[in-house]
């Protein structure tokens, strides 16, 4: 008997109406292990996607690992969160392996998970794979995730090899916007400032 595999979702641009943005463990306890340039860049890309998500009514889901040790979501991104957004404590690297987190994300109707945060080769990777196994389309944003040393590139390579999609912030932005009307909505006041070095 031969087995056939097929993607959970057909290849298509990312649908904002089916998307949820997951901010994974973007905490100073993890960010401090990066060089200043890499730290500032990942924070800026995450901040931008959070602001765009709110503008387009894409729901957010934020996790923090061992917050007593690693802190809350870093201030620049946390300041963009709506006040009532829970920062859900995560004690297992892959969020779908923790029952309360799995139940919370499965309870909402969106099935495209766009992941940003820390660490690409551990919590982001484990969460993306767990979500994919649970029926989600998992998309890791390459320039809005990071890990120390070579962990970032290794995590992206492993994720891609295991069927997770890899996209860039600019690509996600335009896939979410879809049209001239979408651009007008995103560019309406108050201005959402693009990440440093990103030309939209």
Q: Please, what is the average pLDDT of the chain?
A: 94
For the packed helices 169-177 and 180-187, what is the interaxial angle rounded to 10 degrees?
A: 110
Q: Give the pLDDT of residue 2.
A: 38
Q: Give the pLDDT of residue 130.
A: 98
CA pair distance 39, 130, nearest whole angstrom: 26
Third-level CATH fold of 16-178: Rossmann fold (3.40.50)
Strand partners, 113: 20, 138
Q: What is the dihedral of CA 90, 92, 96, 100, to 10 degrees?
A: -50
Q: Which residues in the chain come in under a pLDDT of 70?
A: 1-11
The single-letter DSSP state of residue 122 is: I
8 A C-beta contact, residue 18 and residue 112: yes
Residues 6+ apart with CB under 8 A from 75: none
What is the chain's length?
200
CA pair distance 28, 77, nearest whole angstrom: 11
Query: Which two tokens mark 134?
Result: 């649970």
Residues 6+ apart with CB under 8 A from 174: none
Q: Give the domain ranges of the chain.
A: 16-178
Half-sphere exposure of 79 (CA within 13 A, CB side): 7
Q: For 13-62, write each residue's pLDDT tens digit.
A: 999 999 999 999 999 999 999 999 999 999 999 999 999 999 999 999 99
| pTM, rounded to two decimals | 0.93
- Dmax over CA atoms of the chain, in Å, equals 59
8 A C-beta contact, residue 20 and residue 58: yes
Q: Give the pLDDT of residue 11.
A: 65
């Amino acid at each position: 008997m031969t087995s056939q595999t097929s993607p959970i979702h057909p290849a298509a641009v990312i649908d904002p109406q089916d998307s949820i943005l997951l901010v994974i463990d973007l905490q100073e306890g993890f960010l401090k292990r990066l060089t200043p340039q890499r730290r500032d860049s990942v924070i800026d890309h995450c901040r931008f996607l959070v602001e765009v998500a709110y503008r387009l009514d894409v729901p957010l889901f934020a996790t923090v690992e061992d917050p007593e040790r690693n802190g809350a979501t870093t201030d620049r991104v946390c300041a963009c969160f709506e006040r009532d957004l829970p920062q859900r404590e995560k004690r297992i690297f892959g969020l779908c392996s923790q029952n309360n987190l799995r139940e919370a994300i499965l309870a909402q109707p969106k099935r495209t998970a766009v992941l940003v945060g820390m660490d690409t080769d551990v919590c982001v990777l484990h969460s993306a794979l767990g979500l994919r196994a649970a029926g989600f389309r998992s998309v890791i944003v390459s320039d809005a995730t990071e890990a120390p040393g070579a962990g970032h590139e290794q995590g992206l390579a492993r994720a891609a090899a295991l069927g997770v999609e890899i996209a860039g912030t600019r690509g996600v932005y335009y896939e979410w916007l879809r049209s001239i009307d979408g651009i007008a909505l995103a560019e309406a006041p108050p201005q959402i400032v693009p990440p440093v070095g990103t030309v939209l």
